[in-house]
Amino acid sequence: MNALIINCSPVRTGATAEIVRIISEALSERFQTKSICIADFDFAFCTGCRSCHRTAECVLHDDVPVIMQEFDRADLIVSVSPSYWADIPGQFKAFIDRCTPWSNTHEPHLSLRSGKKGCTVALRTGQNPQECERIIRSIEHFYGHLEIAPYGSLSLCSVEQKADVAPRKQEILAFCEQICSQIF
Ligand SMILES: Cc1cc2nc3c(=O)[nH]c(=O)nc-3n(C[C@H](O)[C@H](O)[C@H](O)COP(=O)(O)O)c2cc1C
């Protein structure tokens, strides 16, 4: 089974990247893992032309299908997102907007291989977990329209930078153990 772990932050070496690294290592006991960072791909904003609502194809040609190939290979997708102004980073939102050809809200639409599960990890500097829950809801909404079954989430508050992740390692590993013990 394949697991795709996504760094939804544009920072390749920050707190989110460190959490991605820990999750990838822990899941590698059960999965073939692959990690990607949203900043490694080049894609434009959705222009809202709605052409894909009729054709299931985007008029723009860039890296979005490359990311979606990674989604398609995966049985488990883990999105790890920091809070940027109480929401997902703009780069990840721009990617989600460009996934409209895959959204089940209109016909025709493209489809990923069925049976996928999706986990979400949200992190933030502040202490109130409600902000993490909002991020989790956004990503699970996205999973829903791609018919990826939401499969658990983790909120990590009080994380500002990479050094803040080490004291939270056990929480992250417990979350991974839960995924590995229950999945499929
Ligand atoms: C542009 C920006 C906006 C942020 N907004 C919030 C916020 O609204 N609430 C919060 O708790 N943390 C906020 N943070 C802090 C990040 O969520 C936190 O530092 C996280 O660990 C960053 O991970 P990264 O360095 O991997 O992107 C913000 C950080 C940045 C860079």
Q: Where are the chain's structural domains?
A: 2-179
pLDDT at 93: 98
Q: Are 122 and 116 in contact (CB under 8 A)?
A: no
81 Cα to the center of ligand 1, angstroms: 9
Please give the distance of CA 42 from its chain centroid, rounded to a whole number. Answer: 17
87 phi-psi bin (left φ>0, alpha ψ -120 to 50, beta other): beta
Nearest CA to ligand 1 atom 8: 85
182 Cα to the center of ligand 1, angstroms: 31
- 123 within ligand 1 shell (Cβ under 6 A): yes
Average pLDDT, the chain: 97
pLDDT tens for residues 75-133? 999 999 999 999 999 999 999 999 999 999 999 999 999 999 999 999 999 999 999 99
Q: What confidence tier does 49 reach under pLDDT thresholds 50, 70, 90?
A: very high
- Nearest one of 13, 69, 62 to 42, comparing CA atoms: 62
> Which residues have C-beta within 8 Å of that of residue 149, sequence separation ≥ 6?
116, 117, 118, 143
pLDDT at 184: 60
Considering the entire predicted model, what is its pTM? Answer: 0.98
Q: Give the CATH superfamily of 2-179.
A: Flavodoxin domain (3.40.50.360)
